[in-house]
Structure 1
């Protein structure tokens, strides 16, 4: 990798007679919902990218399914709610909720058709070449057919509950995203009733993919879908009747929690809301392509949906659960072992290492183990008096939670600030709170109305009759599993003012009083946004004075209009701006007279890009910040976030080169945003070598 400091790009020529005033307000922004849908499409394209091994391509296809599920559960459901409430107002891009839903439907239908075409024509075909087969009913040998029948009778039928649809049995409440079958019937049941329709829900306890025994497949990996097994034997569930049709379907529901913040006990109120998530308003219906119109019409009527919300699929309706544990290493990414910084391996303990220097961890290339070791050593060190930590996504069985519980049992003063409302982790976080409370830790739920999203650990240790603070600050969650697939930064530090700031934020979170006055940390919802505006203003002033000016921002999303407008202002002044945005970007780059000096790219690859880094040239004395916050309204105004400066020159240089310039050189996994909102895959220029940022980092740390 080129480790030299990169000069700022040459300013783009401004089109004559074009100014920012020539752009209508709505023409300056990209719709938030359509932008995140575009990100999901970039993920889908990874399923046919030759850079990825075959089973990883399959995994990207399934990630796309899970992403799209959440997109409908949260984003589409939210827009539908606006429509229901009669909201006809325009978002900054000029679209009404009705127009947004129409565009989502059009794009999503095309994307899902492409998804199943990739599955059937690309991935399943290539898997067959590797002797990994998903057999259809007509492909089974007599011996396999007999085995499947026995499997159905012994493992499947006993847990199925067929539900006839008649006046005594109204249409059942079906769980969000569950696999179900609607069955057309002929004949009379045991009570002499003429039943035409029945619904058969598939319990989630049943595996969706069943591997046939090796002795029936010559040792090859042959599988049968649960849906095929139920379809083949569905008549057995209705003795004396004949099933004339059997069709898979799945309904996606609104899964956003409508929690009243004015409650006495947040945990208790949240528990009450979690069950409603399974039965929220329907937002999408998926059926198999062969489902007759009268059947899917009946289902649409039951779920109060129209045909724009119907998705016919050429395959299983629940693709997200398709992945099996295939033991084919050559079809997966090469394994790698995250490294541990030498300063940690050469020190007697982590506290001694941190006293020597600030330690920057770049996950997943560097191990998450030092973070766990930091807590474990603190839990067992007799000189440690207190441990404080924020937890956003973790899990009761995680090593971090177990170590915190151990510390509490060892008599340490353990305080955990747990964000119960981390979406889709609410139930897990309630369990974490219970585990820690039972161990004797003090558990608080942050600030009502503001999610606690900051990533902080503070350890207080007695040394030579003085209290010394040690801190960890990060851009990502305290989740060891995520730390192997998400890129994130973590800073282990003893810098006195930073540690004091962390202490003050914890006091702010657990107590009451005025806003904490911090010396070095920036934090939302108080100082972060205004400081970012000030930093951009400084770059504008610098370029107007003929000085060096450059901005590089790497975040997951950019939606906050004030910052977008400030970046437009900087571009017009001549500041060179590079934005590395993983998913949502509402800014339009490259527009003459408005944003011609702004370039936007998205990196989609093996690892989920999650680092948040803000770089401002500051006339040669660069400011570099790492943060838990994206540039979104919710992060800057409705969450508690921490943003920490990187002050060590060596660490600043490392982040600049490896965390920013490295990604600006990528021409394999990068996508470039155009002024019209389209994303175009980056390609090497003529004579330019291939460059893969994530692979470069893997090789550098290896």
Structure 2
């Protein structure tokens, strides 16, 4: 089990993963396991603190640090949009049982303060040393001020509509995460009234940064932010009045779409209507400038019906997410990660038929080290192969790349049966998926939306081909999405197979999604919400039982989040029975680690790297038995009980050993990008953050050694 392998960084043998220093492995009595579980939301925030560390690391290229800072802000936005409303409601209603809203807010505020301190005190000065500057109004030369004023008059002023508030002009609708200004005015309006508060909304259509031309900024690359341009010219919008107080502000709203699917006739239509309402849901967070006066703060809090704990004063722009635009505009190669070009998958031929190759055995592609083009090549071969009669695929998150859509349309045009399961409720991708569904339907594909009340999160492509007198199926299963852009940024495993039992199971799942008929007995696949959780519980229990009987017993799990209480408690029990358990969980994890008398035998680590760790790998071993699954599912309650998810065993010893080597052992030996969960619930960096081994760097080095053109020649 987890046999000695070649180290990823250097070709020398390494021992199996040793237990952590500290108390010896034993089987303690575990009292009140439920009470030992960690809080999910605090764990999510701890994950974002680990992402922030990449923005703070001096060994990371400067513009990439800025990008990581934007990623943290984007993650916090989603946290508030999805997770904050129940805490806020509990605080309003004095409901016990959740971490106090004030405690959540205090944790976020600490992280936000660190973000802005890093941005203002370190990143901006270092960018200036490289000739990249964001010029504030007070720093602009007379020529620059004239250029900015001309920009304001030409590009911004026609789109800005100041609204002075009075009974006939109530507070305007402020969209989720939009940039706005609030001002306090002295004097009277044109009708002699003292309406002292006005709102200016900044349209989303405006870019958040403008580059100054060489004529006024001859040295380096200099930019001005849209917020600084508007702020400098706010008084121009209120002729005859004086602006005495002002602040930019941004409100975050609860944005998790809630649709009663049992009471709708057309889910697509209802979701499209819901998307229009999402921007104006319940306010959950208010961001204002650090200098916002008490009068304006109090006014905004009353307007949005928020407690003071929901307000965040920031030293800079209220939306750091938009810093990603500055990264793209600056685009200095020396300040970015070196370009990584994925190699063509080692398991697949550069020429000839992929179908013929899969006859000989299964194939694996490890993205982004290996190219997602292999998946497109498989689909492209299916589209143009006259022997292929049917193509079935799930769509969850596709991105803006239209290659996949065009291939499926072409398949319909060539007379093949095309069925696509489009998940309309993929959070924040609903509109894109609705557009996909409509485009495919208009082309003549059969489009279904899965099972009422469940999200279809499974990732699979099934191709049926006529070969002589029989039909043969070819399948692709993945831990990630059919998205060419994220396939360059996320680590995922693509699995291609012609296994008749596995592909027959896939066909049954597609039939179930279309007809909602009873799912027959599966030979290879584990399917949520039917039996994935149960089978995982059985696997954990079997390892724990073997450990209690004195056998060597091992569990290693890699995933994005582990928050399902039933599975978490099962792991605690198995650990208490003596099983050695390693959890490689990138994000939220509610299982405690190395707590004496509770989780002595459990270690939890999180790998945060240049690429987003996304693959799900489940390894169980006891005695002579070893089982390894790949999956689309994290160990979360929603994935186990409220989604259609898949897990499948890897039976090929060569592929299984490769996955163990690259995804499990490599992560367990990472001492540069990894974090370890401590008994007190906090995370600590690995021992050698600069000189140690990074699993991602080692894999890039390994794949670069055998790198070749990632583009496959057509068969």
Offset at residue 88 of structure 1 (A): 3.1
The corresponding residue for 1:697 is 699
1:304 aligns with 2:305: yes
CA contact (8 A) 1:458 1:469 kept: yes
Q: Secondary structure at the match of 2:299?
A: helix
Q: Secondary structure at the match of 1:285?
A: strand
The corresponding residue for 2:511 is 507
1:532 aligns with 2:536: yes
CA distance in structure 2 between the aligned counterparts of 1:514 and 1:664, rounded to whole angstroms? 41
The corresponding residue for 1:615 is 619
1:2 aligns with 2:3: no
Q: 1:6 to 1:506 in 2, by over 3 A?
A: farther
Offset at residue 219 of structure 1 (A): 4.1
Superposed CA deviations along residues 617-651 of structure 1, whole A, max 9, x for unmatched, are: 24234211100011111111111101011111110
CA distance in structure 1 between the aligned counterparts of 2:399 and 2:605, rounded to whole angstroms? 33
CA distance in structure 2 between the aligned counterparts of 1:652 and 1:122, rounded to whole angstroms? 45
The corresponding residue for 1:218 is 218
Offset at residue 473 of structure 1 (A): 0.3
The corresponding residue for 1:135 is 135
Structure 1 residues 404-413 or 296-305, which shifts more? 404-413
Q: 1:246 to 1:14 in 2, by over 3 A?
A: closer
Q: Among residues 28, 31, 51, which one is paired with 1:43 in the alignment?
A: 51
Offset at residue 6 of structure 1 (A): 4.3
Q: Secondary structure at the match of 2:233?
A: helix
CA contact (8 A) 2:676 2:684 kept: yes
Structure 1 residues 10-19 or 288-297, which shifts more? 10-19
CA distance in structure 2 between the aligned counterparts of 1:129 and 1:158, rounded to whole angstroms? 36
CA contact (8 A) 1:388 1:506 kept: yes
Q: 1:624 to 1:672 in 2, by over 3 A?
A: same
CA distance in structure 2 between the aligned counterparts of 1:101 and 1:10, rounded to whole angstroms? 37
TM-score (norm 1): 0.95
CA contact (8 A) 2:26 2:578 kept: no
- Give the paired residue count: 691
The corresponding residue for 1:667 is 671
Q: Secondary structure at the match of 1:149?
A: helix
CA contact (8 A) 1:396 1:432 kept: no
Q: Among residues 2, 19, 29, which one is paired with 1:20 in the alignment?
A: 29
Offset at residue 80 of structure 1 (A): 2.6
CA distance in structure 2 between the aligned counterparts of 1:124 and 1:142, rounded to whole angstroms? 22
Q: Secondary structure at the match of 1:170?
A: coil
The corresponding residue for 1:236 is 236
Q: Secondary structure at the match of 2:222?
A: strand
The corresponding residue for 1:636 is 640
CA contact (8 A) 2:247 2:289 kept: yes
CA distance in structure 1 between the aligned counterparts of 2:266 and 2:211, rounded to whole angstroms? 46
Q: Secondary structure at the match of 1:69?
A: helix
Q: 1:485 to 1:675 in 2, by over 3 A?
A: same
Root-mean-square deviation (CA, aligned residues, Å) is 1.9
Gapped regions of structure 1 (runs ≥ 5) = 90-95
Q: Among residues 79, 83, 91, which one is paired with 1:75 in the alignment?
A: 83
CA distance in structure 1 between the aligned counterparts of 2:85 and 2:678, rounded to whole angstroms? 28
CA contact (8 A) 2:287 2:312 kept: yes
CA distance in structure 2 between the aligned counterparts of 1:51 and 1:691, rounded to whole angstroms? 14
The corresponding residue for 1:258 is 258
Q: Where in structure 2 are the equivalents of 1:561-572 lying within 5 Å?
A: 561-572=565-576
Q: 1:517 to 1:195 in 2, by over 3 A?
A: same
Q: Where in structure 2 are the equivalents of 1:341-490 lying within 5 Å?
A: 341-395=345-399, 397-490=401-494
Q: 1:299 to 1:398 in 2, by over 3 A?
A: same
Offset at residue 320 of structure 1 (A): 0.8
The corresponding residue for 1:188 is 188
Offset at residue 525 of structure 1 (A): 0.9
Q: 1:83 to 1:449 in 2, by over 3 A?
A: farther
Offset at residue 119 of structure 1 (A): 0.4
CA contact (8 A) 1:395 1:401 kept: no
CA contact (8 A) 1:11 1:574 kept: no
Q: Secondary structure at the match of 1:336?
A: coil
The corresponding residue for 1:30 is 38
User: Higher relative contact order by CA 8 Å / sep ≥ 6: 1 or 2?
Assistant: 2
1:205 aligns with 2:209: no
Q: 1:174 to 1:43 in 2, by over 3 A?
A: same
Q: Among residues 52, 67, 72, which one is paired with 1:59 in the alignment?
A: 67
The corresponding residue for 1:92 is none
CA contact (8 A) 1:605 1:694 kept: yes
CA distance in structure 2 between the aligned counterparts of 1:461 and 1:357, rounded to whole angstroms? 17
CA distance in structure 2 between the aligned counterparts of 1:165 and 1:488, rounded to whole angstroms? 52
Offset at residue 313 of structure 1 (A): 0.3
Q: Secondary structure at the match of 1:158?
A: helix
Structure 1 residues 182-191 or 232-241, which shifts more? 182-191
Offset at residue 10 of structure 1 (A): 4.5
CA distance in structure 2 between the aligned counterparts of 1:18 and 1:381, rounded to whole angstroms? 58
CA distance in structure 1 between the aligned counterparts of 2:94 and 2:556, rounded to whole angstroms? 37
CA contact (8 A) 1:347 1:353 kept: no
Q: Secondary structure at the match of 2:586?
A: strand
Q: 1:80 to 1:386 in 2, by over 3 A?
A: same
Structure 1 residues 232-241 or 184-193, which shifts more? 184-193
CA contact (8 A) 1:548 1:620 kept: no
CA distance in structure 1 between the aligned counterparts of 2:256 and 2:366, rounded to whole angstroms? 32
CA distance in structure 1 between the aligned counterparts of 2:284 and 2:575, rounded to whole angstroms? 40
The corresponding residue for 1:93 is none
TM-score (norm 2): 0.94
Offset at residue 17 of structure 1 (A): 12
Offset at residue 541 of structure 1 (A): 3.1
1:520 aligns with 2:524: yes
Offset at residue 593 of structure 1 (A): 2.3
Offset at residue 435 of structure 1 (A): 0.6
Q: Secondary structure at the match of 1:558?
A: coil
Q: Among residues 658, 662, 685, which one is paired with 1:654 in the alignment?
A: 658
Q: 1:16 to 1:131 in 2, by over 3 A?
A: closer
CA contact (8 A) 2:25 2:600 kept: no
CA distance in structure 2 between the aligned counterparts of 1:216 and 1:223, rounded to whole angstroms? 11
Offset at residue 545 of structure 1 (A): 3.8
Superposed CA deviations along residues 382-421 of structure 1, whole A, max 9, x for unmatched, are: 1110000011111465211221121112211100011110
Q: 1:82 to 1:432 in 2, by over 3 A?
A: farther
Offset at residue 83 of structure 1 (A): 5.2
